[in-house]
A and B are shown apart, each in its own frame.
Chain A
């Protein structure tokens, strides 16, 4: 395996990791502050991706789609929080899992009714269609680099909001002791609705931004959801820093692990099972290993 390929795969891994962070951060904050495990989080990524498709074909540009889609997602987040999630505070995890499981079923069918079951793809914006040459034969697609930079910028904004603003202070206080901030007179109703809506917007933004690079098909929500869970578990549930580290680890594991395993694709472990079949399994193996070492994740507090 040559170095350029390794570089490309590392870039891919970082870019995928940053995208995962956008999704997983919402999941982890919602859990950290509100104590709610939200299975429907992946659905918001899915909705973002489909919004990208609809809005791009309407406005003609992915940028307008992102600008219009993000507020729509924030609104949807508020609506879902008021209608459903509000019943889940102080309920046990089982009921949270089940209610949000019901939401997934509804969102998936709504997607099938509104947008149909065919896969779609949307064009990349013209000035980002090219690639950046790395060597004479290999190049890196410009949109992927753009995507990575935008995700990084969003992560930076989030860091700033969480560390430097009053809202961020409340979020941090809320995730370390939700009862206490209520006792200090902070309106948790508003805080919870805001946080949930932000989480939904981040997931939808990830879907909107990734849409030109990945195709849009039924079931993308679930795929992203499960991998985000792995990220959150590795990082420690409720920890934003953990989600960042976990997302990068998973991103790198996914792309580098796949490259390494694929170079053994002619090695058969048994009939029908070759080494490169195991690529999807590797991230879960990583999670298992980390949990063996630290049962509450890298940055999690033991419960």
Chain B
């Protein structure tokens, strides 16, 4: 069960937020881009953790919503002028929530391994939709030529053309998502979905319409993933079908597991750590010719995480201080 986060979790969060938000002080453009990507994927991983770690649904097609939002922004943006965040963000999130609701209504009927495969298949369906049609550049992808701005009336407050503005917006978005998910999970709704994860039959016997709870959880999760996709599209102003691909979905799962699922801080730590490892694996001075084949390093890393870090970084580090890990606690991530 989620309680008020421990001091250690808050300290980790503060360190990550400060470290990433201050990159413009010491880093160049590339560093700012990496920091923004870390935050985007932290939001994406948190959205996935709502399904994975709290509702007990293993989605292998979550990138569909990430990519769908990125494409929605590209399609919504006028070609030669900036889209206004005030309208673009609600439209994009609305589209993602709507599609999330349609797909969710079908996939939530299934469970276990069927859920994994069906979410994968729907993600592929959306992937091919953008890949084969010419709606937004087909397999070549498409550009957002002018990045969105936030303007009220005629006054422009900030533009995502500035990398710092985008980074700080992303940090703000991540903190907002963290806070909202914490509130959601502590609410009666949150208690019910966590109950579903532990024992769905019992929740149904208690009179809860578990289908509706799971569907709402799926839609919220899709929408938050959409927020991540929205920001991602603003980093390079480029969208491609790969954003919806199963590779991205798999990476999302790895981040959640790496950090520790069922802990909101875990996905954030996992996303930062995973992208950190990826940057290191691409570093020629560090890994030599393997830099051209860094996916092997990532693959081996993923396997090592699965076999060696059952509770994720957060669970393992938190568990190191205590004697015997309580089996209930490893199930739930945090102390009841």
CB within 8 Å of B: which residues of A? Answer: 31, 37, 84, 87, 93-95, 97-99, 101-106, 108-110, 112-113, 222, 226, 229-230, 232-233, 237, 270-274, 277-281, 284-285, 287-288, 291-292, 295-297, 303
Contacts and interface: CB of A to CB of B under 8 A. Distances in A.
Interface centre among B111, B117, B257, B307, by most chain A C-beta atoms within 10 angstroms, is: B117
B171 interface: no
Given A102-B300, A233-B118, A288-B122, A95 B306 contact: yes
B299 interface: yes
Contacts of A110: 296
Given A229-B117, A273-B135, A280 B128 contact: yes
A297 B121 CA distance: 14
A295 B109 contact: yes
13 contacts: A97-B253, A101-B302, A106-B299, A113-B293, A230-B117, A230-B121, A277-B134, A279-B132, A281-B128, A284-B125, A288-B106, A295-B110, A296-B114
A87 B304 CA distance: 12
Interface in B115-172: 116-118, 120-122, 124-125, 128-129, 131-136
A221 to B, nearest CB: 12
A277 B134 CA distance: 8
A87 to B, nearest CB: 6
Nearest to B251: A101
Contacts, number: 136
A interface, over-half SS? helix
Contacts of B66: none
A284 B52 contact: no
B111 A303 contact: yes
B218 to A, nearest CB: 15
A281 B135 CA distance: 15
Contacts of B118: 233, 287-288, 291
Contact of A93 (B113, B133, B301): B113
B122 A284 contact: yes
Given A102-B306, A280-B131, 7 more contacts: A109-B296, A113-B293, A222-B246, A237-B114, A272-B136, A277-B129, A287-B121
B307 A99 contact: yes
A217 to B, nearest CB: 14
Contacts of B128: 280-281, 284
A280 B257 CA distance: 32
The 9 closest A-B pairs by CB, nearest first: A105-B299, A102-B302, A280-B128, A284-B125, A272-B134, A106-B299, A277-B133, A102-B303, A272-B135
Contacts of B52: 94
A214 to B, nearest CB: 18
A217 B40 CA distance: 32
Contacts of A104: 299
B302 A105 contact: yes
B4 to A, nearest CB: 27
A31 to B, nearest CB: 7
Contact of B116 (A37, A87, A272): A37
B253 A94 contact: yes
B295 interface: yes
B133 A98 contact: no
A102 B112 contact: no
Interface in B269-305: 293, 295-296, 298-303, 305
Given A93-B116, A284-B121, A98 B254 contact: yes
Contacts of A98: 250, 253-254, 257, 302, 305-306
A93 B112 contact: yes
Contacts of A233: 114, 117-118, 121
A233 to B, nearest CB: 5
B58 interface: yes
Nearest to A93: B113
A303 B112 contact: yes
Interface centre among A104, A226, A285, by most chain B C-beta atoms within 10 angstroms, is: A226
A5 B134 CA distance: 28
Given A98-B253, A291-B110, A93 B296 contact: no
A281 B116 contact: no
Given A106-B296, A108-B295, A97 B132 contact: no
B41 interface: no
A237 B124 CA distance: 19
Nearest to A107: B299
A272 B299 contact: no
Contacts of A102: 298-303, 306
B60 interface: yes
A179 B170 CA distance: 50
Interface string B242-279: 00001000100110010000000000000000000000
Contacts of A303: 111-114
B144 to A, nearest CB: 16
